Amino acid sequence: MRIDILSIFPDYLAPLELSLPGKARAKGLLEIHVHDLRQWTHDRHNTADDTPYGGGAGMVMKPEPFGEAFDELEIDGATVIFTTPSGEVFNQELARELSTRERIVFACGRYEGIDQRVIDHARTRAEVREISLGDYVLNGGEVAALAITEAVVRLIPGFMGNPDSLVEESHEDGLLEYPSYTKPASWRGLDVPDVLLSGHHGEIARWRLAQSEERTRERRPDLLGE
């Protein structure tokens, strides 16, 4: 998979050099290129935004730098993701879908958003997705691009050292994950549930499923359609 990220604050994306995406890069499964959008501006001040037509507060990101960046990066056939609070809300199912793509280009918006024509034009040459990290407003789309990248990259086949750990985690089966324990069996007067020490795999599986269901019902009834 190749990921390109366009931002006026490329330093925000520095963590991609570390941790999980860093490992995938080392394994040759992933190529990530972070680009400073201002390299596609041509005035002395490297202006990437302007006032909105029709008036109103805030600034809008200009179309030309994104247009030139898309031309140079040859986005044709890629999946272009605009991170925006008005997009579809990101979740594990969408992460799975995106993990099948060969090429993803993130366009990170700032201010009041990006000139709509950038999105409309990209749609004529690429698969366009507008994605929100959740129902709250960030200062820009960079943190969203970072989070989406991390969630997607760990699903690339061959990326996880132990793929079994993907199967049982929260959201993969529509439920939250059961509580986990490790040694010691007793700590500060708190004991690990007996069933986990019993060695009965069937009982352990049943207990874990019941815990997952209870947690989900308590914390996220929306996942159960309740």
Q: Residue numbers of the site for ligand ADE (CB under 6 A)?
A: 83-85, 132-134, 136-138, 140-141, 144
135 labeled binding residue: yes
CB of 214 to ligand ADE, least distance (A): 30
CB of 137 to ligand ADE, least distance (A): 5
4 labeled binding residue: no
- Which residues, 6 or more positions from 191, have their beta carbon under 8 angstroms from its beta carbon? 185
The closest alpha carbon to 83, from 160, 171, 1, 9, belongs to 9
50 labeled binding residue: no
Q: Which is nearer to ligand ADE, 128 or 133 (CB)?
A: 133
User: Which residue matches tokens 């109103």?
Assistant: 56
Residues paired with residue 60 on neighbouring β-strands, in sequence order? 50
Between CA 41 and CA 47 the distance in angstroms is 6
Residues 162, 163, 167: CA angle, nearest 5 degrees: 125
- Using left for φ > 0, alpha for ψ between -120 and 50, and beta otherwise, residue 90 falls in beta
Q: Which is nearer to ligand ADE, 65 or 85 (CB)?
A: 85
133 labeled binding residue: yes
CB of 31 to ligand ADE, least distance (A): 23
Q: Which is nearer to ligand ADE, 1 or 107 (CB)?
A: 107
| Residues of the binding site for S-adenosyl-L-methionine | 109, 133-138
